[in-house]
Structure 1
């Protein structure tokens, strides 16, 4: 993220926290200003942000080098005051208890996104209750009910757009690593669902190795998303602190036991050295990864002794699995939704291996989506699905 954009986001968050603005309103404000400021800064324009708090309200003014039409204003997740011009103004209610602003942009973004998801979930629940009450009234309210249905459809579409923004914020983009191509595809159970329990994380360690975490939290909806985020954050922290790769799953489980006693999740970890191709896997109850080479049949990489996930009895990876990837070799990591669509895991894994063979020459960026599309041609059991592809390439 550009340093000037990061400063703008931090300034907005600090002003909101000091004024007591709710986390969900803060998240919509930060996202709205980001959508305006990022392209402007990229184009070399100036973005001026001013904040003023008084009488339990916060005023935020953003001035750009170009005019913003009313149509563009209406498309923002938090609507500013009406009008055309290069200046946009928001007024937000404050008065809540102030709290320290998290200086980490990723953690602050996730906190705001989860607050927005919780708010949307509450609004949807209230909307369902209201519709039920109206349905029980006499026929004289029928016209109002029809109008409510139309507005509900508009609200659903608006929420769907916001949820896609939330998904983008919760699911990090692949890191840029010489000698390695990475790609991902996420397919939710319900296209209108705000989130799920299938999440991933990938980052480059100080020694140049790439760490990948894939989590499938038990349950659905906002709670499973929070649990999956908690696990990915815990493992990232432990990995960056230098804890042994073999112990990360068990250590994360023991650490989170007191914080989230109901949390249960399968976990698959990968640690890849782009320079040598040496790749290690730690598996805590997760589907086995698949290795695809240019000339040999695709194969599963089962652990010699199956491990258990976070929140399960005796958690951790019993044995590490190691493979050396040559240039052109690909590793596929996925959640169980990919192979359980026809309610037969063995049949699903056999189809996956056959498909991986046929698609071995596909570009890395297309491979995850193509696998999900073909594996889900018949869906008898619907579940969230994540597919990650890691392909070793000649260094540029």
Structure 2
């Protein structure tokens, strides 16, 4: 597959940083900054040099970059003429190997930033605890640090919103089907959450969908959810049987992330026939909505357990053949637990969904989230995914 100019630029930049032994965190921030600049530029030029323990990277752009935009980059460049931006990074660490695959390299960099933010968050909590035990003579200093902490939190929120967007892939193109998704964090300025999804087309043409809700909040839950989605994607692409994916992933991750707990819902769609199969590990049950307005909870005969739960696995599978116009809703518990009543939320969703089954597919997830959250007694991250079979005849492309 031919890489885009931006992807080639990222690859060149990663190779330069890897050869110089730049840390994964600094490399991730630099790659993200250069990507933001290059995506809106007609053409760019990249050069680098190393002197002793410093790596110098220079990006040439066709037009100047204003100071406000420069200040908003994840890694601030040196002062310059605006068209030529230069970064200086520490070098000299042992050279590292960076994956050639752009998606794998991006995931690796995102995990490095998430891990670093975990450390920063822990340091901030410890600092607040120490300040709280000091005497009143340092109150003024404490207030100043709180203000700095707020500015830092907002800056992290911007960076992590971009990371969240990078970690939430756009719907794949599937002949005969329309797919859409809506994500909302528990708080408007929340930088990250544990609700993640993944969808991609397998080599045989089937579509695989993973929906994960990791227990916890903040960047730790984001890292856990990303770990689960990546593990299941790897197993699926290696050809492991669909019914075994949740259990296999749970056993694999048990020694790597012993504290990880997450509910998991998997779907496997055959676009040629409209057949869809679900594997459920402790996750909220999908809802099928027909053009006539009928709804059905897709409930397995034997309920499975999620990653980190006792006896993990998918239990029994649920199979359906979607007719033209049929709609399937996949979601995390944030959608139905806003009033602190799981069953009441399921019932309301089944009552509301048919009224919007005729809406444009792209608008349905956001509309359902807004309707379900008219009263919020318990805020939580929310993902709503929609799969709709079109009315025309289906077939593999």
TM-score (norm 1): 0.91
Residue 35 of structure 1 deviates from its aligned partner by 0.9
1:47-74 CA-to-partner distances (Å, cap 9, x unmatched) read 1111212211111011122222223222
Of the three residues 202, 219, 222, the one matched with 1:222 is 219
Contact 2:117 2:219 in 1 (8 A): no
Contact 2:330 2:385 in 1 (8 A): yes
The residue number in structure 1 matching 2:4 is: 3
CA distance in 2, matches of 1:263, 1:153: 29
Residue 340 of structure 1 deviates from its aligned partner by 1.6
Partner-residue secondary structure (3-state), 1:246: helix
TM-score (norm 2): 0.91
Contact 2:114 2:223 in 1 (8 A): no
Contact 1:166 1:194 in 2 (8 A): no
Partner-residue secondary structure (3-state), 1:67: coil
Of the three residues 108, 113, 116, the one matched with 1:111 is 108
Of the three residues 150, 153, 167, the one matched with 1:153 is 150
Of the three residues 82, 86, 89, the one matched with 2:79 is 82
Contact 2:182 2:385 in 1 (8 A): yes
Pick closer, same or farther for the CA change 1:305–1:74 going to 2, 3 Å: same
Of the three residues 163, 176, 180, the one matched with 2:177 is 180
Pick closer, same or farther for the CA change 1:255–1:130 going to 2, 3 Å: closer
The residue number in structure 2 matching 1:51 is: 48
Pick closer, same or farther for the CA change 1:126–1:237 going to 2, 3 Å: closer
The residue number in structure 1 matching 2:239 is: 242
Partner-residue secondary structure (3-state), 2:189: coil
The residue number in structure 1 matching 2:63 is: 66
Partner-residue secondary structure (3-state), 1:30: helix
CA distance in 2, matches of 1:292, 1:90: 53
1:6-64 CA-to-partner distances (Å, cap 9, x unmatched) read 22111211222222222222111101111111222xxxx32111121221111101112
Contact 1:246 1:317 in 2 (8 A): yes
The residue number in structure 2 matching 1:375 is: 372
Partner-residue secondary structure (3-state), 2:384: strand
Structure 2 gap ranges (5+): none
Contact 1:117 1:194 in 2 (8 A): no
The residue number in structure 2 matching 1:29 is: 30
Pick closer, same or farther for the CA change 1:121–1:251 going to 2, 3 Å: closer
Contact 1:178 1:395 in 2 (8 A): no
The residue number in structure 2 matching 1:269 is: 266
User: More displaced, 264-273 or 308-317?
Assistant: 308-317
